[in-house]
Amino acid sequence: MPQRLARRIRALDRPRKILYQRKVGLMRSFNRKWFYPPAVPGFAFVAAFMLSLLVWVAPSALAGGASRPPTPGPRAADAKLLLAIRRADLKLLKAAIAEGANPNIRATNGLTPMLQLIHLAKGPLSKPQYDCFAFLLRHGENPGATDADRRPPLIQAARAGDLKTVRLLVEVGEVYVKARDRFHKTALLYAAEAHRRDIVDYLASNGDLQSRSVRERREHLER
């Protein structure tokens, strides 16, 4: 009786063993076919290597001319502009603008070049920083661009107590003097908090209170 039961168990297991053997055989044949290709003859290998060398390594040889140095793209020009802002290098800044750099590009901290100059100064702009600031203002940068607190360069310059930069933005950039940040404060309020009477008087006489702005006075004179 135990022998007969053992024979029945072996008979039931036989189809499973057959299926397992077939599965293993198929896997071995697949690996042999796709992962172990036949060896390439030496001449064919050398020919394939030389062809890839001509196509990928020396395209100028196929064209019949010497390779030209790569021209700087917009990304390289933008990187040069950001480097010029960090160094306050006017010559490098002019070269970046000539190569097509975007004057309104934002750095990794989200600041435009003019806001970055004020941020790096930690106070009134130095002479090289002011020259870069004026160059950017005259070459297409938006003076109304804001930071995360919605503060344009005018408010930042007033907070830093930089009357010279405030005058440049108002008279050359013709910025909106009554612009408010996310705390609903204008440049005049920040200048008053910093006890800068000169900046308060200048902003009050150039559009912040009842006086006309520079743009309004120019339009009135042109009529």
- Residues 6 or more apart in contact with residue 94 via CB below 8 angstroms: 135
Domain-ending residue, one of 13, 39, 61: 61
User: Which is nearest to 115 in space by CA: 82, 75, 73?
Assistant: 82
Domain-ending residue, one of 61, 89, 105: 61
Within this chain, do residues 8 and 92 fall inside the same structural domain, yes or no?
no
Q: Is residue 68 part of a domain?
A: no
Least confident span in 47-56, 90-99, 140-149, 160-169: 47-56
Q: Is residue 165 part of a domain?
A: yes
- pLDDT of 35 reads 47
- pLDDT of 173 reads 85
Residue 136 to residue 81: CA distance in whole angstroms: 10
Q: Is residue 173 part of a domain?
A: yes
Within this chain, do residues 125 and 216 fall inside the same structural domain, yes or no?
yes
- pLDDT of 24 reads 59
Q: Is residue 215 part of a domain?
A: yes
Q: Is 140 helix (H, G, I), strand (E, B) or coil?
A: coil
Domain-ending residue, one of 37, 61, 85: 61
Q: Is residue 66 part of a domain?
A: no
pLDDT, tens only, 55-71: 665 555 445 444 455 55
Tokens representing 85?
């802002």
Which residue segment(s) compose the domain that 184 sits in? 74-222
Look-up: residue for tokens 């970046």? 96
Q: What is the dihedral of CA 40, 43, 48, 49, to 10 degrees?
A: 110
Within this chain, do residues 96 and 51 fall inside the same structural domain, yes or no?
no
Residue 161 to residue 155: CA distance in whole angstroms: 10
Instruction: Return the higher-pLDDT residue of 117 and 22.
Output: 117
Tell me which amino acid residue 209 is: L
* Mean of pLDDT values over 206-218: 65
Within this chain, do residues 150 and 211 fall inside the same structural domain, yes or no?
yes
Within this chain, do residues 158 and 51 fall inside the same structural domain, yes or no?
no
Within this chain, do residues 103 and 201 fall inside the same structural domain, yes or no?
yes
pLDDT, tens only, 166-199: 999 999 888 989 999 999 999 999 999 999 999 9
Q: What is the CATH number of the domain that holds 218?
A: 1.25.40.20
Asked if residue 176 lies in contact with residue 211, where contact means CB atoms within 8 angstroms, the answer is no
Type and span of the H or E element at 75 = helix 74-87
Q: Residues of the chain with pLDDT > 90: what percent?
A: 50
- On the question of pLDDT at 156 being above 50, the answer is yes
pLDDT, tens only, 79-133: 999 999 999 999 999 999 999 999 999 999 999 999 999 999 989 999 999 999 9
Asked if residue 176 lies in contact with residue 144, where contact means CB atoms within 8 angstroms, the answer is yes
Asked if residue 84 lies in contact with residue 78, where contact means CB atoms within 8 angstroms, the answer is no
> How many domains does the structure of the chain reveal?
2
- On the question of pLDDT at 31 being above 60, the answer is no
Within this chain, do residues 94 and 29 fall inside the same structural domain, yes or no?
no
